[in-house]
Chain A
Amino acid sequence: MSCALLLLLTSLALAMGTGTAVEIQRPRGVPQSKRQFYEENKPFTCLDGSSTIPFDRVNDDYCDCKDGSDEPGTAACPNGSFHCTNAGFRPAFIPSSRINDGICDCCDTTDEYNSGATCQNTCREMGRKERESLQIMAEITKEGFLLKQQLIHEAKRGQEDKRGKLTELKGSKKGLEGKVEALRTVKETAEDPEKEAKERHLKSWEEQKELIRMEKDKTRMAEAFLELDDDADGYVSVAELQSHLELDPDSDGSLTETETQGLLGGEGKVDTSTFETVWSGIKDKYLSEGLLDPPAPVETPQEEESRDFVSDHDSDHYPEDYAGEEEDVEDDDEEDDDHDEEEEEKVPPTVQTPEKREDDELSMPPYDTETQSLIDAAQKARDDFDEAERALREVDDQMKNLEKEIGFDFGPSAEFAYLYSQCYELSTSEYIYRLCPFNRVSQKPKFGGSETNLGLWGQWAGPEENLYSVMKYDHGQGCWQGPNRSTTVKLTCGKETVVTSTSEPSRCEYLMEFTTPAVCQEPASLDEVLHGHTEL
Chain B
Amino acid sequence: MGPLLVLWLAVFLSGTWAVDRGNFKTCDQSAFCKRQRALKPGQSPYRALLETLELTNTKLTLQLINDNNKVRLLLELYRLQGNMTRVKINELKPLKPRFEVPDVLINDPPTEPLSLLSQDENGVVLSLGADSQWLIVSAKPFRLDIMEGREVLLSLNSRGLLAFEHLRIRKDTISYKIKNNVYSAWENIKWVFSSQVDPEGAEKKEETDAANELAEGETAKEDGMWEETFKSHTDNKPNGPSSISLDFSLPGVEHVYGIPEHADSLKLKTTDGGDPYRLFNLDVFQYELFNPMALYGAIPVMLSHSAQRTMGIFWLNAAETWVDISSNTAGKTVFGQMLDYVQGSSETPQTDVRWISESGIIDVFIMLGPTPTDVFSQYASLTGTQAFPPLSALAYHQCRWNYNDQEDVAAVDKGFDEHDIPYDFIWLDIEHTDGKRYFTWDPHKFPQPKDMLQGLMDKRRKMVTIVDPHIKVDSSYKIHNEIRSKGFYVKNKDGGDYEGWCWPGNSGYPDFTNPEMRAWWASMFAYDQYEPFSLSAACSEAPHLTHTALHQGSMENMYTWNDMNEPSVFNGPEVTMHKDALHGNWENRDLHNLYGLYVQMATAEGLIERSGGVERPFVLTRAFFAGSQRYGAVWTGDNTAEWEHLKISIPMCLSLGLVGVSFCGADVGGFFKSPSTELLVRWYQTGAYQPFFRAHAHLDTPRREPWLFGPENTALIREAVRQRYALLPYWYQLFYHAHHSGQPVMRPLWVEYPQDTATFSMDDQFLLGRDLLVHPVTEEGGRGVTAYLPGKGEVWFDVHTFQKHNGAQNLYIPVTISSIPVFQRGGSIIPRKARVRRSSSCMEHDPYTLFVALSPKRFAQGELYIDDGHTFNFDKQKQFIHRRLSFANKALSSRNLAPGSQFITPSWIEKIVILGASKPSKATLKTPDGKENLLEFEFDASMSVLTLRKPGVNAGVDWTVVLQ
Task: Show the binding face of A for B, using Cβ within 8 Å.
Answer: 1-4, 60, 62, 75-76, 78, 95, 97-98, 101-103, 115, 429, 479-483, 503-509
In the assembled complex, the Cα of A75 lies from the Cα of B842 at a distance in Å of: 11
Q: Does B226 contact A (CB under 8 A)?
A: no
Indicate whether A76 sits within 8 Å of B835 (C-beta atoms), given known contacts A102-B460, A509-B702.
yes
- A103 B420 Cβ-Cβ under 8 A: no
- A505 B834 Cβ-Cβ under 8 A: no
Indicate whether A506 sits within 8 Å of B701 (C-beta atoms), given known contacts A101-B842, A103-B459.
yes
- B842 A103 Cβ-Cβ under 8 A: yes
Q: Which residues of the partner chain B approach A503 to less than 8 Å between Cβ atoms?
A: 404, 407-408
- A3 B954 Cβ-Cβ under 8 A: yes
Known: A4-B950, A479-B700, A482-B700. 4 other contacts (CB 8 A): A1-B952, A78-B835, A97-B420, A509-B702
- A3 B703 Cβ-Cβ under 8 A: no
In the assembled complex, the Cα of A106 lies from the Cα of B842 at a distance in Å of: 16
Q: Does B908 contact A (CB under 8 A)?
A: yes
- B837 A78 Cβ-Cβ under 8 A: no
Give how many B residues have a beta carbon under 8 Å from the other chain's beta carbons. 34
* 19 A-B interface contacts by CB (under 8 A): A1-B954, A2-B954, A3-B954, A4-B952, A75-B846, A78-B836, A95-B420, A97-B420, A97-B838, A97-B842, A98-B837, A101-B837, A103-B458, A481-B700, A482-B700, A483-B702, A503-B408, A508-B700, A509-B703
In chain B, what residue has the closest Cβ to A115? B845
Q: Which residues of the partner chain B approach A97 to less than 8 Å between Cβ atoms?
A: 420, 835-838, 842
Q: Which residues of the partner chain B approach A507 to less than 8 Å between Cβ atoms?
A: 699-702
In the assembled complex, the Cα of A227 lies from the Cα of B773 at a distance in Å of: 128
- B408 A505 Cβ-Cβ under 8 A: yes
In the assembled complex, the Cα of A103 lies from the Cα of B835 at a distance in Å of: 15
Q: Which residues of the partner chain A approach B701 to less than 8 Å between Cβ atoms?
A: 506-507
- B908 A62 Cβ-Cβ under 8 A: no
B700 to chain A, nearest CB (A): 5
Interface string of B187-211 (1 = CB under 8 A from A): 0000000000000000000000000
Q: Does B19 contact A (CB under 8 A)?
A: no
Interface string of B683-707 (1 = CB under 8 A from A): 0000000000000000111110000
In chain A, what residue has the closest Cβ to B834? A78
- A3 B836 Cβ-Cβ under 8 A: no
Q: Which residues of the partner chain B approach A479 to less than 8 Å between Cβ atoms?
A: 700
A100 to chain B, nearest CB (A): 8
The residue among A62, A479, A506 with the most chain B CB atoms within 10 A of its own CB is A506
In the assembled complex, the Cα of A62 lies from the Cα of B952 at a distance in Å of: 10
Q: Does B344 contact A (CB under 8 A)?
A: no
Q: Which residues of the partner chain A approach B444 to less than 8 Å between Cβ atoms?
A: 429
A5 to chain B, nearest CB (A): 10
In the assembled complex, the Cα of A509 lies from the Cα of B703 at a distance in Å of: 9
Q: Does B930 contact A (CB under 8 A)?
A: no
In chain A, what residue has the closest Cβ to B954? A1
B961 to chain A, nearest CB (A): 15
Q: Does B11 contact A (CB under 8 A)?
A: no
B117 to chain A, nearest CB (A): 63
Q: Does B847 contact A (CB under 8 A)?
A: yes
- B703 A505 Cβ-Cβ under 8 A: yes
Q: Which of A98, A115, A480 contacts B838 (CB 8 A)?
A: A98
Contacting residues of chain B (136-193) with chain A, CB-CB under 8 angstroms:
none
Q: Which of B404, B407, B699, B910 contacts A62 (CB 8 A)?
A: B910
- A101 B460 Cβ-Cβ under 8 A: yes
A504 to chain B, nearest CB (A): 7
Q: Which residues of the partner chain B approach A1 to less than 8 Å between Cβ atoms?
A: 908, 952-954, 957
Contacting residues of chain B (915-964) with chain A, CB-CB under 8 angstroms:
949-950, 952-954, 957
In the assembled complex, the Cα of A115 lies from the Cα of B843 at a distance in Å of: 11
- A75 B835 Cβ-Cβ under 8 A: yes
In chain A, what residue has the closest Cβ to B17? A481
In chain A, what residue has the closest Cβ to B698? A507
B534 to chain A, nearest CB (A): 15
Indicate whether A506 sits within 8 Å of B703 (C-beta atoms), given known contacts A78-B836, A101-B838.
yes
Q: Which residues of the partner chain A approach B699 to less than 8 Å between Cβ atoms?
A: 507
Q: Does B899 contact A (CB under 8 A)?
A: no
Q: Which residues of the partner chain B approach A78 to less than 8 Å between Cβ atoms?
A: 834-836
A526 to chain B, nearest CB (A): 28
In chain A, what residue has the closest Cβ to B411? A505
In the assembled complex, the Cα of A288 lies from the Cα of B834 at a distance in Å of: 127
In the assembled complex, the Cα of A483 lies from the Cα of B700 at a distance in Å of: 9
In the assembled complex, the Cα of A519 lies from the Cα of B472 at a distance in Å of: 49
- A3 B458 Cβ-Cβ under 8 A: no
Q: Does B906 contact A (CB under 8 A)?
A: yes
In the assembled complex, the Cα of A185 lies from the Cα of B300 at a distance in Å of: 98
Indicate whether A3 sits within 8 Å of B952 (C-beta atoms), given known contacts A97-B835, A101-B837.
yes
In the assembled complex, the Cα of A60 lies from the Cα of B949 at a distance in Å of: 12
In the assembled complex, the Cα of A509 lies from the Cα of B701 at a distance in Å of: 10
Q: Which residues of the partner chain A approach B407 to less than 8 Å between Cβ atoms?
A: 503
Q: Which residues of the partner chain A approach B846 to less than 8 Å between Cβ atoms?
A: 75
